[in-house]
Structure 1
C-alpha cells in the first residue's frame, strides 16, 4: 500500500484592504465611551464660553450708550462673540489631547501589538487612524462652530444686534473655527506617535499648540514670521474683524496655508513615524 500526499495549497486569508482598516479604526473609536464623553464635554465647554460672552453682552446692553449700540455690528463685535479666543483655546487643547489619545491609548495598553500583528502594514494602520480622526473631528468642528454661531447670534438678536451667516466675514469665522478641530487633532496624533508616552505627549501638545503662539511677538520680523506659522495666530488672523495695524502684517491666504501645512505635516509624521520601530 502506498500513502498519498495532498499537495493542495493551504488557503490564506486575503490581505486587509485599506477601507477594511479604516472600518476597523472606526469601530475602535466609536466603541470607546470615553471618546464620546470627551467630545461631548469639549463641545459643551466651547459652546458655553461663546454663549456666555453673548449673554453678558445681552445682559449689559442697556448700559451701553447710543453710539456704542450703533457701532456694535459695524465694528464686527458679533463675529468676535460668535467664536471667542477662550473657546478657541479650549478646543485646541482638548482636540490636541483627543488626537493624541487616538494613538497613545493603544501604546499604553499594549494593544498596538495586536493591531500591527493583524495588519503588518503599519503605515496603512496609521493612515487609517488619521482618516478616521480627521473625518470625526471635521464633523465635530462643524457642529460646534455652527452651533456657537447660531446660539450667540440668537442671543444677540434679543437686542437686535445679531447677524446672519451672509454677513461679510461670518462664513470665514465659522469655517476657520471648525477646521481648527481636525488640524489640532492631527497635531496631537503626530506628537503622540513620536513620543508614545501619555504625560510627555500631553505636555508637548500644550507647548506646541498653545504656548509657542504666545511666546512669539510682533516686535521683531523673525518673531512675527514664526508666530504667523502657529495655529492659534493663524486662527486669529482668519477671524480678525476689520483692519488691525501691525508692524509685519500678513494675509488670510497665508493663514489658510498655515492650516494646510500643519495638517499635512502632522498626518505625514504620524504615518511615517511607525516605520522601522519596535512597535
Structure 2
C-alpha cells in the first residue's frame, strides 16, 4: 500500500496527468455532443453512436500513462525510486496499477459522460441502455482504457524517452492497425490479430447501434467480445512483463 500511495502522490504532483485527463474528457464528450447535435433520421442517435469517439480519449490517456514513466527517466528521479524500493519490479508494478486504475476511472467518465450529454441534447432519441451489448459498449470502456494504460506504461518503460514512446503509441494506434488492412491478400488477416482491433471488437461486437458503414471495418475476429478482451489483456500484460524484465537488467 505504501508503494501505491507513493506512486499516486508522484503522479498527481505534476501537471501533465491533470491536463491529459481534462483533455480526454473534454475532447471525447465534446465530440459526442457535436455528433448528437447533428444526428437526423438518416443517421439516428443511439448508444453506440454516442461512444464513437472514445478512442480519442483512450489515446490521450495512453500518452499520460507513458509520461508517468518517461518523465521519471528524463529527470532522473527513477534512480531514487529504485534505490528506495527493494526491487525495481515492485516499483514499476505499483506505478502500473495506479495509472491503470486512474485510466479505468477516466474511461468510465468519458463513456457515461458521452452517453449523458447525448441524451440531454436529444432527449427523444432511444438512448436507454437495456441490453448486455449496450452495457458492454459503455461500461466496458473503462476496461479498455485501463489495459491500454498498461500497454503504454510498458512501452514507456522499454523506450524511456518521452518523444519516442509517445510517437510509437500514436503512430501504431492511429495509423498502423488501420493501414495494415490495405496490404493485398494478407492485410485483413493480419488486422484480425491486432490488439486495438480486438479492444474495439470487445466494445462493439454484436452491436446494431452503429449505422452501416460507420465506425471501423467489421472483421472476422477469431474470438467473441470477451475473448477479444482477454486477448488484448494478454498482449498488454505480456508486453509489461517484457518491459519489467528489461528494466530489471539494464541501468536506470
The two structures have a TM-score, normalised by structure 2, of: 0.85
Once residues 167 and 154 of structure 1 are traced to their aligned partners in structure 2, the CA distance between those partners, rounded to angstroms, is 21
Aligned residue number for residue 83 of structure 1: 51
May I ask how many residue pairs the two structures share in their alignment? 243
- Alpha-carbon deviation of 1:270? 3.5
Q: CA RMSD in A?
A: 2.5
Whether 2:153 is the aligned partner of 1:198: answer no
The two structures have a TM-score, normalised by structure 1, of: 0.78
Whether 2:232 is the aligned partner of 1:259: answer yes
Once residues 194 and 12 of structure 2 are traced to their aligned partners in structure 1, the CA distance between those partners, rounded to angstroms, is 31
Q: Which has the larger radius of gyration?
A: 1
Aligned residue number for residue 153 of structure 2: 189
Task: Choose the corresponding residue for 1:32, options 5, 14, 33.
Answer: 14
Whether 2:73 is the aligned partner of 1:100: answer no
Once residues 23 and 183 of structure 2 are traced to their aligned partners in structure 1, the CA distance between those partners, rounded to angstroms, is 37
- Alpha-carbon deviation of 1:166? 1.6
Unaligned regions of 5+ residues in structure 2, if any?
none
Describe how 1:60-79 pairs up with structure 2 within 5 A: 61=40, 64=41, 68=42, 72=44, 77-79=45-47
Once residues 131 and 32 of structure 2 are traced to their aligned partners in structure 1, the CA distance between those partners, rounded to angstroms, is 18
Secondary structure at 1:217 match in 2: helix
Bigger shift: residues 206-215 or 38-47: 206-215
Equivalent residues of 2:65, 2:153 under 8 A apart: yes
Aligned residue number for residue 9 of structure 1: none
Equivalent residues of 1:104, 1:198 under 8 A apart: yes
Describe how 1:233-272 pairs up with structure 2 within 5 A: 233-237=197-201, 238-240=203-205, 241-242=207-208, 248-250=220-222, 251-272=224-245
